[in-house]
Amino acid sequence: MSTPDQSLTNDDRAIYEWQLSVSGFGEDGQRRLKNASVLVSRVGGVGGTVAYELAAAGVGRLILAHAGNVRPDDLNRQLLMTHDWIGRPRMDLAPRRLRELNPTLEVLAVAENVSEENVERLVCEADLVVSCAPLFSERLLMNREAVRQGKPLVDCAMYELEGQLTTVIPGRTPCLACLYPSEPRAWARRFPVLGTVAGTVASLGAMEAIKVLAGLGEPLLGQLLIFDLRDMTFRKASIRRRPDCIVCSRC
């Protein structure tokens, strides 16, 4: 964001050849990704794959926030993590795994979960936020700060074989607090899920981030995508801004 605009090198053109011919993307879209910083929190089942997809697409810089060590029960869905790293810090492994794929990627790895104390600083580092935390408190914090700083936020979430996502553009679309004015109490930290569902919602979320950054296609603005992989139903429902939203009503 504060770095000067970098143009594409011949190495970039060689690596991204297959996507440079995507209609509406091209060299301009690739250059926009290269100059973009994206905050992904956390890098579990959804966020880890979001980060991997963004690294593959050529996003220049990722800010990752996730505390703690790899656990055995992470490995059905956290594809950035590996079996040999069980018991060791996720944030020591994630940047290395991402740079194996994309050595030019810049990673700011923060071994903390998003909190009141760090959220302003973390969002400040990014042009766009992809929200993948397993708790509403963290999601609502990122939403509040992204709206305050006027930065787009992609919220992607899953449960069992289902997923949902929407893209927030502060001042233009409903924000997460329009949907959930108070923290939903029925949500439990541990939920049933297959790793393929995490991968699906992550790829969709990364696609939204790329679209917003590159000005490609039509992001899910004012729309909630709801899908159920049990019967492969995908639906888009329109969502509303709350005139009295405590977060975005003054945007």
Partner 1 sequence: MISIRVRYVAQLKQAAGVAVEEVELSSSSSVRDLLLLLADRHGAPLGNLLLGEDGSPQSTILVFVRDEQIVPSDGSLLKDGDVVTLLSPMAGG
Indicate the SS3 state at residue 162.
Answer: strand
Cα angle, residue 91 at apex, residues 119 and 97 outer, rounded to 5°: 125
In the set 47, 170, 199, 219, which binds partner 1 (CB under 8 A)? 47
Handedness of CA 73, 78, 83, 86 (dihedral sign): negative
217 torsion bin: left (phi>0), alpha (psi -120 to 50), beta (else): left
99 or 241, CB closer to Zn ion? 241
Q: Read out DSSP for 51-85?
A: HHHHHHHT-SEEEEE--SBB-GGGTTT-TT--GGG
Is residue 33 part of the contact set for partner 1 (CB under 8 A)?
Answer: no
251 binds, options Zn ion, partner 1, none, Cβ within 5 to 8 A by partner type: none
In the set 7, 76, 240, 249, which binds partner 1 (CB under 8 A)? 240
Indicate the SS3 state at residue 210.
Answer: helix
177 binds, options Zn ion, partner 1, none, Cβ within 5 to 8 A by partner type: Zn ion
Work out how close the CB of 181 gets to Zn ion at its nearest, in angstroms, rounded to a whole number: 8
Is residue 236 part of the contact set for partner 1 (CB under 8 A)?
Answer: yes
54 or 247, CB closer to Zn ion? 247
Neighbours of 157 (CB within 10 A): 20
Work out how close the CB of 248 gets to Zn ion at its nearest, in angstroms, rounded to a whole number: 3
Is residue 199 part of the contact set for partner 1 (CB under 8 A)?
Answer: no
In the set 38, 133, 177, 202, which binds Zn ion (CB under 5 A)? 177
39 or 157, CB closer to partner 1? 157
Number of residues that bind Zn ion (CB under 5 A): 6
In the set 62, 80, 175, 202, which binds Zn ion (CB under 5 A)? 175
* Largest interatomic CA distance in the chain: 52
